[in-house]
């Protein structure tokens, strides 16, 4: 009896599972027969393409294996095992630089791929790279020390099987509750699930058990920052740096926390020190560039971004950072480099969509709007494919605010936190909110802070442990005066770290707070709200051209962004019926056409005297972190609001959507 004859298949076993069994039995021709049939029906199936590549490699048809992997990675660009398989093929061909690149990509996506680390160790040894050999062997030793059960959990996590990873890790910790690698893995899972409080508890406990582990403290700092516990994050980062003053990663953590709390000049000094120790570390140049941009030094920012591009030619964030200045013009050499890089198969998806957005801006500046839109569209499609955004779900969430926040709940139980300091500027991104903030922050009685995450964090907390709990906003009417007062006072106290001036008013410019104005008015009854509006097509398309650092998942498809705009208008209309006297709508086009008139209207609404500095807002020196940072440091350009018209032939779905709405209104 042959090996093939001895393989028995369950009647319910899928053809793909049968093929995998044949591969494990080293019956590669038989496996290929099954796989080819499977791939006829599902040509981009990840497991099918991966197994087919493995079969071709073992049958010594490396060229066919690489062709198959190319298809695999085109459809699944973040599949770590695909890069590992590519590394195996290049190693067979003795293409060692290509093999190294593929293996490094594999372990970047999935640090637990032992075979990739082993091959890297062998190749680096052959190339006489002792430092890289030591690094690879350290990872091999670390992974070899992990129990197989935990290795399986780690693999599940990095392959996106989060529920399986959580189950395996929790089962393991039931037996070994003090196993630090397992606690770290469970904290990563908690972060992925946005259960940040659990991640903090796990990492704090692990750090107590291993007080000399800098890795644990660095991970804890990141979680504290994600939880908006900026004071704690800064304190821990400072302590870590003081105990390890010569450790670059410790100083880098401190630099980032300085940025988070507005100590940007101090952060730049720390970035300088880190770069003196790590002069070829491209990401730090980008981080320092962001800091220079924040304080209004665009030339220094450009120099750092260009240096990062030079050090790492496929570093998408560096190119996009140049474009995101809005004032930088790409020369032909950089454009050619970007066009070349974006087509290379080994470049990560994240780098590709960053570069696509940068190319969109580069060709727009050159007046080649067809090419520009092509790259904007490609970048948006790549980004959208990584997200699980559901427009219908967002619409339901906004409708829930209307349903559960009727006007009468704002005349009943309210917080007694009567602080009138905060001014909330809300609206869609790219609607002109940064311009309004810059104008108001030019007034001596008003401080501009940033897009503060505190309200969004409170809303997530009230929603429940899991997103599916859906407790909020249905629970908003049931909270006691004491609870509402506590949250209102916590907001005032927690945002104090962002306030550097002794002014009676400060601005929170988080655009998405419009979704939670009911919560804001329950906990801060005296808060004032400014609704930044912009002509819908201009607003939506400006958002479509913008690659956001995080959030704003609705902005990567024209149909999604137009639906979001409609939902926003409907929700704001509801809020106006609830507390109209606390909301001022500011139309961007009217602000541009009549600056002084609209400025006086804004200041009257807030209750402060007119100040001429508000008309010369572009001269005000302050930290600005949003994409409009350089734009608001210049006088108003009336022509900018019509830029979308150059793209009219390519965005007909957007223009027709709002045209149809206008016709319905008429």
Give me the DSSP letters along 617-650: GGG------STTTTGGGS---GGGGGGGGGGGGG
Least confident residue range of 34-38, 117-121, 164-168, 634-638:
634-638
| Residue owning tokens 């459809």 | 75
Per-residue pLDDT tens for 121-139?
999 999 999 989 999 999 9
pLDDT at 664: 55
Per-residue pLDDT band at 3 (split at 50, 70, 90): very low
Q: What is the pLDDT of residues 503-540, one digit of tens each?
A: 999 999 999 999 999 999 999 999 999 999 999 999 99
Same fold, 3-144 and 397-665: no
CB 623 within 8 A of CB 294: yes
H-run or E-run covering 174: helix 162-175
Q: What are the distances in angstroms from CA 213 to CA 47, 219, 224? A: 38, 10, 17
Q: What is the CATH number of domain 3-144?
A: 1.25.40.10
CA-based nearest residue to 413, from 524, 292, 522: 522
Task: Pick the closest to residue 530 from 435, 437, 426 (CA basis).
Answer: 426
* 148-329: CATH class: mainly alpha
Closest listed residue to residue 48, CA positions, set 82, 77, 7: 82
Average pLDDT over residues 283-301: 94
The pTM of the full predicted model, rounded to 2 decimals, is 0.81
Q: What is the phi/psi pair of residue 8, to 5°?
A: -110, 135
* Whether CATH 3.40.50.300 fits 397-665: yes
- The domain spans of the chain are 3-144, 148-329, 397-665
Q: Residue 542 above 60 pLDDT? A: yes
CB 518 within 8 A of CB 576: no
pLDDT of the residue at 654: 94
Mean pLDDT for 366-385 is 96
Average pLDDT over residues 299-315: 96
Query: Burial letters for 618-644: b for 16+ Cβ neighbours within 10 Å, e otherwise?
Result: eebebbbbbbbbbbbbeebeeeebeeb
Answer whether the bond into residue 473 is a cis peptide, omega within 30°. Answer: yes
pLDDT at residue 599, rounded to an integer:
96
Q: How does residue 638 score in pLDDT terms, banded at 50, 70 and 90? A: low
User: Quick one: 150 exposed, middle or buried, by C-beta within 10 A (0-12, 13-18, 19+)?
Assistant: buried
Burial of 351 (0-12, 13-18, 19+ CB in 10 A): buried
347 or 614, which is more confident: 614
Q: How many CB atoms within 10 Å of residue 517?
A: 27
pLDDT recorded at residue 624? 56
């Amino acid at each position: 009896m042959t090996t093939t004859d001895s393989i028995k298949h369950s009647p319910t076993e899928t053809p793909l599972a049968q093929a995998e069994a044949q591969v494990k039995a080293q019956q590669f021709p038989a496996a290929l027969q099954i796989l080819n049939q499977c791939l006829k029906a599902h040509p981009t199936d990840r497991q099918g393409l991966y197994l087919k590549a493995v079969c071709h490699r073992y049958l010594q048809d490396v060229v066919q294996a690489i062709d198959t992997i190319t298809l695999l990675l085109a459809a699944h660009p973040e599949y770590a095992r695909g890069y590992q398989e590519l590394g195996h093929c290049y190693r067979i061909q003795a293409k060692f630089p290509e093999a190294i690149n593929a293996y490094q990509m594999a372990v970047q996506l999935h640090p637990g791929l032992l075979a990739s680390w082993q091959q890297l160790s062998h190749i680096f040894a052959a190339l006489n790279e002792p430092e890289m050999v030591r690094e690879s062997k350290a990872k091999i030793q670390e992974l070899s020390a992990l129990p197989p059960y935990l290795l399986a959990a780690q693999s599940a996590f990095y392959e996106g099987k989060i529920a399986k990873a959580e189950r395996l890790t929790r089962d393991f910790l039931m037996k070994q509750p003090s196993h630090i690698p397992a606690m770290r893995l469970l904290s990563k899972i908690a972060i992925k699930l946005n259960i940040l409080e659990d991640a903090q508890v796990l990492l704090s406990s692990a750090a107590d058990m291993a007080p000399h582990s800098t890795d644990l403290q660095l991970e804890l700092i990141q979680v504290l920052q994600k939880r908006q516990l900026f004071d704690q994050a800064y304190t821990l980062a400072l302590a870590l740096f003081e105990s390890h003053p010569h450790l670059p990663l410790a100083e880098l953590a401190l630099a980032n926390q300085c940025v988070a709390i507005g100590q940007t000049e101090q952060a730049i000094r720390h970035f300088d020190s880190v770069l003196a120790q790590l002069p070829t570390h491209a990401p730090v140049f980008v981080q320092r560039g962001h800091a220079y941009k924040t304080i209004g030094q665009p030339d220094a920012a450009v120099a750092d971004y260009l240096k990062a591009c030079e050090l790492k030619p496929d570093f998408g964030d560096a190119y996009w950072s140049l474009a995101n200045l809005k004032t930088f013009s790409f020369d032909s050499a950089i454009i050619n480099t970007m066009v070349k890089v974006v087509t290379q198969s080994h470049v990560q998806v994240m780098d590709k969509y960053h570069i696509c957005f940068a190319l969109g801006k580069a060709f727009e500046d050159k007046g080649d709007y067809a090419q520009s839109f092509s790259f904007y569209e490609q970048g948006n499609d790549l980004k959208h494919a990584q997200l699980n955004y559901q427009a219908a779900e967002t619409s339901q969430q906004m409708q829930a605010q209307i349903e559960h926040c009727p006007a009468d709940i704002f005349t009943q139980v309210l917080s007694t936190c009567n602080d009138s300091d905060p001014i909330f500027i809300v609206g869609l991104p790219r609607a002109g909110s940064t311009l309004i903030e810059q104008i108001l922050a030019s007034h001596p009685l008003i401080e501009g802070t940033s897009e503060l995450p505190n309200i969004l964090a409170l809303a997530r907390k009230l929603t429940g442990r899991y997103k599916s709990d859906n407790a909020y906003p249905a629970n908003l009417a049931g909270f006691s005066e004491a609870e509402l007062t506590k949250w209102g006072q916590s907001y005032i106290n927690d945002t104090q770290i962002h306030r550097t001036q002794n002014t009676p008013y400060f601005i929170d410019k988080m655009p998405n707070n419009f979704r939670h104005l009911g919560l804001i008015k329950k906990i801060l009854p005296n808060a004032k709200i400014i609704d930044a509006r912009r002509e819908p097509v201009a607003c939506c398309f400006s958002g479509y051209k913008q690659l956001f650092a995080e959030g704003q998942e609705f902005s990567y498809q024209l149909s999604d962004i137009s639906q979001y705009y409609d939902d926003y208008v409907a929700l704001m209309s509801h809020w106006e019926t609830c507390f109209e006297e606390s909301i001022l709508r500011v139309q961007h086009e009217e602000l541009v056409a009549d600056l002084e008139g609209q400025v006086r209207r804004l200041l009257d609404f807030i209750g402060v005297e007119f100040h001429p500095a508000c008309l010369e807002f572009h001269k005000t020196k302050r930290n600005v972190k949003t994409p409009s940072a350089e734009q608001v440091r210049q006088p108003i350009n009336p022509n900018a609001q019509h830029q979308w018209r150059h793209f009219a032939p390519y965005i007909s779905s957007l223009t027709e959507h709002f045209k149809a709405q206008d016709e319905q209104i008429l």
